[in-house]
Structure 1
Amino acid sequence: MRPGASNTAPGSFRPGQPTTPRRARRRPDLTLPLPERDLTSIAVPLPLPPPPSTAPSTTTTTNNNSTPSSAGPTATPPISDLERVRRIGSGTGGTVWMVQQRSTRRIYALKVIYGNHEDTIRRQIAREIEILRTSDNPFVVQCHGMYVQGGEIQILLEYMDGGSLEGTRINNEAFLSDVARQVLEGLAYLHRRRIVHRDIKPSNLLINSERKVKIADFGVGRILAQTMDPCNSSVGTIAYMSPERINTDLNQGRYDGYAGDIWSFGLSILEFYLGRFPFGDNLGKQGDWASLMCAICYSDPPEAPSNASREFRDFISVCLQRDPGRRQTAVQLLRHPFIMQHIGAPLS
């Protein structure tokens, strides 16, 4: 509407005036142009590693019932060869199924992402999948490929029979040290490849029956979070964000994704020890998210309790430094006394 124009359309009824016949529009084909979407806004904000030089980049995306490409590190089984066994997790964004390949009887996890995604989003995710498929580290969940059926994205992942560590209390420091070491090994590997997770939290740390711990839900989640939830306001995610990521006025507006991962890691390890969210039950996932963000940004960082060992208290302290430049890196933390003194110790 032009500035100063009447709020009443021509020919409409106004109190106190006689009605008049509605006039036909002179140009019925006139329409206002719709604003174009800025597709560059969904780009991953941090640099991705270069594609492997040993083999050309391939895409495992499939359309409808076609078979995915078998090129790459490992052959991706056709989706027709996968049988869903049972649902092992679900949320607002999708569902995770335990599936079995009929021809080999191998077990996988299949993450089904809700929604019919645009071609641009699918291409972004397919690019990330190819990067993740080249990841070869025992502390990172293996990604085996991606399928697209009717616009729905499905991601084939390594199956971890112990599930996530969310809600787990680990007050045995030897076992907790071993969990921390494995997560740090995975983070050090990702950071060497210039991959920033951005969502380290207990629900994204998986364990199996052999007590092997692996990092999950990296890469693809960054794109989906920006497209499916533009505000990125999930309290479960905000709860583990570093102060400078929530409040960009901190640290002179600079955000170091690697240091942000260390904050999230330290908070998760402390939560395992305490058996509760470190900032308090009232500010946890079911609490007041505005108060939670204020606590993260302006209160003193959480500390390990006084009855914990000196090594563990120091370990948490160097992870939860308010100044990201003072947080130790994953490689440095692997040499911390809390990690080194428990290597080879009994975990029971």
Structure 2
Amino acid sequence: MSIQQNVIGPVSAHSISTSYGALKNFEVIKYLGKGHFSTVFSARNRFTNSYVALKKVELSQMADAKAIEDCKREISLLQQLNHPNVIKYISHFVEDNDLYIVLELASAGDLAQMIKHFVKTNKRMTEKTIWKFFRQICSGLEHMHSKRIMHRDIKPANIFISAEGAVRLGDLGLGRFFGSKTTSVYSMVGTPYYMSPERIQEHIIGYDFRSDIWSLGCILYEMAALRSPFFGENLNLVSLRAKILVLDYAPLPASIFSHELRHLVARCLVLDPEQRPDITEVNHIAQMMYARFVEQANMANNTPTPTPSSRDDSACGSVTPVNNR
């Protein structure tokens, strides 16, 4: 069996004739980013005139079966998800031994780019904006967990933002489906700064959905502090692991951020995964806190409550650096 057939199987004449089934049907517009075997572009479909993200995966560079299985798994997971806060799968096809995955386009970039902008301009996100984004991240992840799908690589670069300001969880290349008999997994995969202690330890122990909760805690902290809680100059994996295992991170200033935000970070960044809240509880807190800040803003401005899609709130405030230990 060829690499192409192993990934996608025989391509039917019907799928080739669809508007999303061939590269010639797209006008590639802009380079967006690059992964280990993949490159992502924005593109316009010539038939529907819709704008999409086109992820090109170089199958010929994949010498081992695991990389090919990762491709198949990503497509399978994407096909199971349908939520406004998860990047939508549209189609996929193979051409000239390259796999193309057609995805919803989040044209405003990602959370990593946004955080860099705040750092560069010496501003910070208001807490209202933090909750506005975080509640959408949690809502998308709750949908994934309800489908028994673990993300395993939640980080700012995988949290995308649409032109309308909506947040989308994406890049499920490391995602994992938990079957009815699966209780934990063991692969040490992910991005180290956002990996839970049970995943980053030298002697691999099992982990489950609560590992994603740790990553959420890192994201919530980073939106407030504008850096990862365990960031350090010239850290190698050994020293990073040591920081994580003793929870060596600077507390967020109580003079700026609410008790609820700081307490939720602390509850997510707990060494024992059994002591972390599940995604339903985290999402409930995020929704409640955003609603509280919206209500406070409305009372201050004496204006009607906006719809959840409203973008009238300012995202900026002056930066107060987090004190280093």
The TM-score normalised by the length of structure 1 is: 0.68
Counterparts in 2 of 1:103 and 1:60: CA distance versus 1, 3 Å: farther
Q: Which amino acid aligns with 1:133?
A: Q
Work out whether 1:338 is the aligned partner of 2:289: yes
User: What is the DSSP-based 3-state SS (H/G/I as helix, E as strand, rest coil) of the residue aligned with 1:198?
Assistant: coil
Structure 1 residue corresponding to 2:269, chosen from 287, 302, 320:
320
Partner of 1:186: 140
Structure 1 residue 136, shift from structure 2 partner: 1.2
Structure 2 residue corresponding to 1:89, chosen from 2, 19, 33:
33
CA shift digits 1:199-245 (9 cap, x unpaired): 00000000122110010001x3458xxxxxxx9677xx111100011
Partner of 2:58: 114
Partner of 1:161: 107
Structure 1 residue 147, shift from structure 2 partner: 1.8
Structure 1 residue 279, shift from structure 2 partner: 1.6
Stretches of structure 1 that go unaligned for 5 or more consecutive residues are 1-58, 224-230
Contact 1:161 1:207 in 2 (8 A): yes
User: What is the DSSP-based 3-state SS (H/G/I as helix, E as strand, rest coil) of the residue aligned with 1:206?
Assistant: strand
Structure 2 residue corresponding to 1:260, chosen from 202, 211, 233:
211
The TM-score normalised by the length of structure 2 is: 0.73
Paired with 1:302 and 1:324, the residues of 2 have a C-alpha distance of 21
Paired with 1:205 and 1:124, the residues of 2 have a C-alpha distance of 20
> Whose strand fraction is larger, Structure 1's or Structure 2's?
2
Stretches of structure 2 that go unaligned for 5 or more consecutive residues are 1-5, 119-123, 177-186, 298-311, 315-325
User: What is the DSSP-based 3-state SS (H/G/I as helix, E as strand, rest coil) of the residue aligned with 1:287?
Assistant: coil
User: What is the DSSP-based 3-state SS (H/G/I as helix, E as strand, rest coil) of the residue aligned with 1:342?
Assistant: helix
Partner of 1:78: 22
Q: CA RMSD in A?
A: 3.1
Counterparts in 2 of 1:314 and 1:187: CA distance versus 1, 3 Å: same
CA shift digits 1:57-110 (9 cap, x unpaired): xx9937799763689xxx744332111111111244321101111112110001
Partner of 1:297: 245
User: What is the DSSP-based 3-state SS (H/G/I as helix, E as strand, rest coil) of the residue aligned with 2:242?
Assistant: helix
CA shift digits 1:144-172 (9 cap, x unpaired): 12222233222111101111110414530
Partner of 2:87: 141
Paired with 1:302 and 1:115, the residues of 2 have a C-alpha distance of 43
User: What is the DSSP-based 3-state SS (H/G/I as helix, E as strand, rest coil) of the residue aligned with 1:347?
Assistant: coil
Paired with 1:92 and 1:268, the residues of 2 have a C-alpha distance of 23
Number of matched pairs: 271
> Whose helix fraction is larger, Structure 1's or Structure 2's?
2
Partner of 1:4: none
Paired with 2:75 and 2:189, the residues of 1 have a C-alpha distance of 25
Counterparts in 2 of 1:80 and 1:118: CA distance versus 1, 3 Å: farther
CA shift digits 1:250-271 (9 cap, x unpaired): 9xx3412x11111111101211
Partner of 1:203: 157
Q: Which has the larger radius of gyration?
A: 1
Paired with 2:139 and 2:291, the residues of 1 have a C-alpha distance of 13
Contact 2:229 2:249 in 1 (8 A): no
Counterparts in 2 of 1:176 and 1:124: CA distance versus 1, 3 Å: closer
